[in-house]
Chains A and B, each alone.
Chain A
Amino acid sequence: MMMPHFTVHQPDSLEEALDLLGRHRSSVKVFCGGTDLLIKMRSGALSPDHLVSLTRVKGLRTISYAESDGLVIGGAARLAEVGKNAEVKKLYPALAHACSVMATVQIRNMGTVAGNLANAAPSGDTLAPLLAYGASLVAVERGGRRQIKLTDFFTGPGLNVLEPLEIIEAIRVPDPPPRCGSAYMRLSARSKVDIAAVGVAGFMNLDLDGKVIRCRLALASVAPTPVRCPEAEAMLEGQKPDDTLLAQAGAACVRACRPIDDVRATASYRRAMVQALAQRVLAKCYAQAAGGEA
């Protein structure tokens, strides 16, 4: 339980943060909320000599929305701030919901969305909603920046394609089209605080006849990384979904997952819940999309 010894750097600018990362490259980690990193350090799983804190980097906590640009979540924006943001609540309800129910009030006041992505737990609550919205992230290092689609980001439990000296500068979420709906549902034993045993996020938009133009589904906690469900998405596109089709799409989601038995749930329970939650998420998305622009 002893905290290892390390130095903390608290730069004011991104440039300075990148310089510090480079200077201490042999043993350094990017630090912000600390809610995952400090636990790993206390347990001995990680022991960097240097932390570069992003909490004082100017402009990095900004959350902004514009029709032309969609939503831009700064790399240091906290979960609670994203969850309470009026535009996120109105236009990205699945993300707002995830940011308002995950972990604890205190952790949401500390942890960041970028940190949730970087931590890359298959159960991370913001991962499935952001995948469903077609989000990407902007990673910056001294040589320049690159945009990474979230679908290309996760490579395994706790693993992603970020380079050690890269910082997540922002998360970009496209502007929602007219007649769209989205939802995120999660299940866990306590329902509060504990890690999700299953999470399902969906996004759908409709044409003027009420047919699905685009659907995206993402599953959390049921595979080594969060996963999209291309088979289910394709089944819905071009259709007016009814209960039978939603059930078939749910079954396709079950085929997309690769759950394990662990302390949180058995694999068979997870499969059953993917089926149930996918149907409910899709029904909610469809109702929202048909009912207006929410």
Chain B
Amino acid sequence: MAKRTIELIVNGDRYELAVDPWRTLANVLREDLRLTGTKVGCAQGDCGACTVLLDGRSISSCLTLAVEAHQREVTTIEGLAPSPDELHPIQEAFVQHGAVQCGYCTPGMVLAAKHLLDNNPAPSEAEIRAGLSGNLCRCTGYNKIVDAIGAAAKKISDTGKEA
């Protein structure tokens, strides 16, 4: 059961890695690439803390094998801000609305929100809640998170800026 050489495109950067085939994408992102913004909560696809985008779709990186992401594009929370001095509108709205408490669910929440707004730029509150249903916040600060995503959607459409 030899290691496999894979190529990952993470936040626009290309990495060549030798990985054991049974390792998850979450594990490789955190341990090999030191991108520890991606969290692991339940490790069974229920909590959403490990959410990343794979070719633009939100997925649970704890249930995705790293070898399956070979030559595909991964976006983690570290890759969302347009520059080191600027936050993505979703991140900015989370800060402004106090949507971050302990912070453990936040990277997954933000990426789930990104997937939602990419597919539905003007969601209703019910659609935001449905879009976040795969992400648990045990501080239970859901209202502020929902508010933040609503505000981010508005800001993105107002500025015509690409999410």
Q: Measuring CB to CB, which residues of chain A are less than 8 angstroms from any residue of chain B? A: 1, 3-8, 10, 34-35, 38-39, 42, 49, 53, 55, 80, 103-107, 109-110, 192-193
Task: Judge whether B60 and A3 touch: CB under 8 Å.
Answer: no
Task: Judge whether B21 and A6 touch: CB under 8 Å.
Answer: yes
Known: A39-B44, A53-B68. A107 touches B21 (CB 8 A): no
Task: Judge whether B58 and A105 touch: CB under 8 Å.
Answer: yes
Known: A8-B68, A105-B112, A106-B58. A39 touches B63 (CB 8 A): yes
Q: Give every chain A residue within 8 A of B22 (Cβ-Cβ).
A: 3-6, 8
Decide if B48 is an interface residue (CB 8 Å cutoff).
yes
Task: Judge whether A110 and B133 touch: CB under 8 Å.
Answer: no
Task: Judge whether B43 and A7 touch: CB under 8 Å.
Answer: no
Task: Judge whether B134 and A8 touch: CB under 8 Å.
Answer: no
Report the contact-size class of chain B (Cβ under 8 Å from the partner).
Answer: 20 to 34
Measured between alpha carbons, how far is A126 from B22 in the docked complex, in Å? 29
Task: Judge whether B59 and A110 touch: CB under 8 Å.
Answer: yes
The 4 closest A-B pairs by CB, nearest first: A104-B134, A192-B133, A8-B21, A109-B57
Measured between alpha carbons, how far is A107 from B59 in the docked complex, in Å? 7
State which of A1, A80, A104 has its C-beta within 8 Å of the C-beta of B45. Answer: A104
Task: Judge whether A107 and B45 touch: CB under 8 Å.
Answer: yes
State which of B4, B65, B70, B135 has its C-beta within 8 Å of the C-beta of A34. Answer: B65
Q: Give every chain A residue within 8 A of B134 (Cβ-Cβ).
A: 103-107, 193
State which of B4, B20, B48 has its C-beta within 8 Å of the C-beta of A106. Answer: B48
Q: In the complex, which residue of chain B has the Cβ closest to the Cβ of A37? A: B63
Q: Give every chain B residue within 8 A of A34 (Cβ-Cβ).
A: 63-65, 68
